[in-house]
Amino acid sequence: MRISISSKIITSLFLLLISTQLIIAGGNPVRSKNGMVVTASPLASDIGAKILSQGGNAIDAAVAVGFALAVTYPIAGNIGGGGFMVIHLADGTNTTLDFRETAPLAAFEKMYLDSSGNYAPENSQLGWKSAGVPGTVHGLITALNKYGSMQLKEVIQPAIDLAENGFILTYDIANSINAYYDDFMKYESSKKIFTNNGKKFLEGDLFIQKDLANTLKLIRDKGIDGFYKKEIAEKFVAESQKNRGIFTLKDFEDYKTIEREPIIGSYRGYKIVSMAPPSSGGICLVQALNVLENFNFTKDEWGSSRYYHLLVETLKRVYADRSFHLGDPDFYPVPVGFLTSKKYGSNIANLITDKALPSNRISATNLKYHESEETTHYSVADKYGNAVSTTYTINSAFGNRIIVEGLGFLLNNEMDDFSSKPGAPNQFGLIGSAANSIQPKKRMLSSMTPTIVLKDDKPFMVIGSPGGSTIITQVLQTIQNVIDFGMNLYDAIAVPRIHHQWLPDEINYENHGLSEDVKRNMTERGHIIGSIKSLGRMEGILIDIKKNVFYGTSDPRGYGKATGY
């Protein structure tokens, strides 16, 4: 029987309709042959790719991007915060740099408690006392000196130019700044930078940051000492004293980037290289994967109640362990080997039944939390075989919203990541224990999970996200979306995600992320369905070594870019 043209068209239209109903994502990543840079800011991605095209390696590009984001993505890009860099070198070395902020020397355990011993979150989130000693400049320059091939002046100059000459505000960046207008108006120094003479910015305005340009020039000319010993530290400390902060010059002089062994795990034959404490990211990711490896998933099981049940039951145990056992390893003995062992993973898997175990049977308190999107991750891979996965942050959106007068950069409010009082939740609803109590020079526990997945010991995925406590679960699901569910990188990043962090005992999910059927099945198993949230903003790379193709995807939830070279 012959099918007429029109009935063919109708048939294919019909198929198209069915498939758009069934397929949630269905996009393609950016492809390239020589390298890839994926960041939350198109300008920064282009700068990174240009460095690669000039012959720089992934570390050179990552450092250039780190400085560029401080200018073009002020909501989270920074030189006033801290972060973590996971590095895979072409010679097979895996290493990490910890440039997390430290508690100032004058910090003390109960500094955010009032006279009755109550924890007031605004104290650890607002004002000069909420900031830790910044680590970003130390970390980026250390990375360049140890593993880069270019000069600091070459990789920092694009950021200086953008700060000095300005860049055109896109709709998204203008909006992100204007969303915090009321806060910026409270501080003269912030009003000067983040409002247009007291008015909100408009899309299309030229955004110039002269003070930041001058600070970056000092860093260019004087390196680490320029920031930590001389002019910048001195100005910073003077401003701190003026505003009843507790910083001293010694805080800056003592600051060190720490090179740490990565957390190494494996999942179904892939090697996982991720961040060690003081981030909880690597341990929690590997622990969760070790549990989930005990279950088989078919490709069609993505989004099913069986998968989400197993995922959530795993996460409850992982986040409970996080609260009890994790903190800065230089101050607290973190049981890394135990938590990341395959044996512990299979022990947990054996405890999981068909029913949800309520979180209060794993521990006691029930809590509420809110989440923002204000950290940023970027991924870089080069043609030489190097890869860099970096997440850095000033914690909340625009940190504590205070620009350091004359220096043009924002203060972090990372002190809120400490456990100010056992059992009292921080802004991400995370509770902690002695492991993460405040002590001078200690680094606050993080959830940042910059990760490199290796296949046959070569970079396969470079991945990470912002999202506070949800970062770990987002990275985990994106890796599973590729390895277990066979998605391409775009789909793996774009499809809706869910989150559970033990406390509060509820599942958060993204729009269209849980069908009514799945919700019903999950509820029947004893799960509590919580609210809808946007979860994470992945910036990822996947490398097909055999075909020599780099794939890049900037999360469609954000407004970044994958720039190939």
Binding site for ligand DON (CB under 6 A): 372-375, 393, 395, 414, 417, 446-448, 466-468, 471
One-letter amino acid at 193 equals I
Which CA distances in Å does 535 have to 82, 475, 555?
A: 22, 11, 11
Distance of closest approach, residue 402 Cβ to ligand DON, in angstroms:
17
Distance of closest approach, residue 547 Cβ to ligand DON, in angstroms:
34
Distance of closest approach, residue 395 Cβ to ligand DON, in angstroms:
4
Region at 423 (left for phi over 0; alpha for psi -120 to 50; beta for the rest): left
Q: Is 382 exposed, middle or buried (0-12, 13-18, 19+ CB in 10 A)?
A: buried
Angle 70-73-78 (CA atoms, 0-180°, nearest 5)?
30
Tokens of 110: 């109960």
Could you tell me which residues come within 8 angstroms of residue 292 by beta carbon, excluding any fewer than 6 positions away?
A: 267, 310, 311, 314, 349, 480
Distance of closest approach, residue 177 Cβ to ligand DON, in angstroms:
16
Minimum CB distance to ligand DON smaller for 447 or for 477:
447
Q: Can you tell me the distance from the alpha carbon of 178 to that of 166, in angstroms, rounded to the nearest whole number?
A: 18
Angle 502-374-167 (CA atoms, 0-180°, nearest 5)?
165
Q: Can you tell me the distance from the alpha carbon of 276 to that of 287, in angstroms, rounded to the nearest whole number?
A: 12
Distance of closest approach, residue 350 Cβ to ligand DON, in angstroms:
30
To which H or E segment does residue 88 belong?
strand 82-88
Q: Which residue has the tokens 């490896």?
A: 293
Full 3-state SS string of 278-305:
CECHHHHHHHHHHHHCCCCCCHHHCCCH
Query: Contact 97/257 with Cβ under 8 angstroms?
Result: yes
Q: Is 281 helix (H, G, I), strand (E, B) or coil?
A: helix
Q: Can you tell me the distance from the alpha carbon of 2 to that of 134, in angstroms, rounded to the nearest whole number?
A: 72
CA 172 to chain centre: 19
Tokens of 255: 């600051």
Task: Name the β-bridge partners of 507.
Answer: 529
Minimum CB distance to ligand DON smaller for 147 or for 369:
369
Distance of closest approach, residue 134 Cβ to ligand DON, in angstroms:
13
Minimum CB distance to ligand DON smaller for 37 or for 471:
471
Minimum CB distance to ligand DON smaller for 339 or for 475:
475
CA 372 to chain centre: 11
Distance of closest approach, residue 488 Cβ to ligand DON, in angstroms:
26
Minimum CB distance to ligand DON smaller for 49 or for 448:
448
Query: Contact 392/81 with Cβ under 8 angstroms?
Result: yes
Alpha helices by DSSP H, 119-209? 121-125, 136-147, 152-165, 171-178, 181-186, 188-194
Q: Can you tell me the distance from the alpha carbon of 444 to that of 331, in angstroms, rounded to the nearest whole number?
A: 11
Query: Contact 295/316 with Cβ under 8 angstroms?
Result: no
Minimum CB distance to ligand DON smaller for 101 or for 211:
101
Distance of closest approach, residue 486 Cβ to ligand DON, in angstroms:
29
Write down the catalytic residue from 375, 390, 470, 478.
375
Minimum CB distance to ligand DON smaller for 314 or for 427:
427
Minimum CB distance to ligand DON smaller for 488 or for 554:
554
Q: Decide if 375 is catalytic.
A: yes
To which H or E segment does residue 274 belong?
strand 270-274
Minimum CB distance to ligand DON smaller for 99 or for 307:
99
Give the number of other Cβ atoms within 10 Å of residue 248's Cβ: 17
CA 263 to chain centre: 17
Distance of closest approach, residue 393 Cβ to ligand DON, in angstroms:
5
Minimum CB distance to ligand DON smaller for 76 or for 494:
76
Q: Can you tell me the distance from the alpha carbon of 117 to that of 109, in angstroms, rounded to the nearest whole number?
A: 12
Distance of closest approach, residue 81 Cβ to ligand DON, in angstroms:
8
The residues annotated as belonging to the active site are 375
